[in-house]
Amino acid sequence: MVTIDGITGEQLIDAIAERLLYGSEYRDGIDERIDAAVKSRVAKLALAGVEAAIRDGVANEVRAVIASGWPTTNSYGEPTGKVTTLKERIVAVLTERGSGYGSKNESLVEKLVREAVAGELGKALKAEMERAQAEIRASVDGLVKERLAETLRAALGLGR
């Protein structure tokens, strides 16, 4: 059975039919519940429309600022007069060097390049290390087998 805000479809149909047949007389207080459900739904739709309009308005303003640029500021937030663009700000973020305690004084680009190089070298070195370890294991295994065979022959009095 389908219900909307506690009102069954059958109750809704009955109320609509009764209203059409007898005017504004309702039964069982269903009219107040229907009115409340309608008002609630209208309010939700209106709020959604307002929120969408606000989001669109903010998005348009952000696009306008990005297109025209914005003033740079000092550490107190006061405009310094120079207007910067999004492209200039991206370049600045990528190339600004760190400062302060614990900083390696490298830019974001330098950090990303260093990490990428380290990652690729790590992969290459890992593969080479695995190959060398396998080679050493094989060599050691051969020596161990040879020494074990010599020891067993000597213990059992078997000559070569």
Same domain, 16 and 57: yes
Same domain, 36 and 80: no
pLDDT of residue 38: 82
Range of the domain at 73: 69-105
pLDDT digits (tens, 9 = 90+) for 64-102: 988 888 888 888 988 888 888 888 888 888 888 876 666
Same domain, 26 and 49: yes
Share of the chain above pLDDT 70, in %: 86
- Close Cβ partners of 83 (under 8 Å, ≥ 6 residues apart): 68, 69, 70, 71, 72
pLDDT of residue 50: 92
Whether the pLDDT of residue 26 is over 60: the answer is no
Same domain, 50 and 83: no
Q: Is 73 helix (H, G, I), strand (E, B) or coil?
A: strand
Same domain, 75 and 91: yes
Give the pTM: 0.39
Tokens 């663009």, located at residue: 85
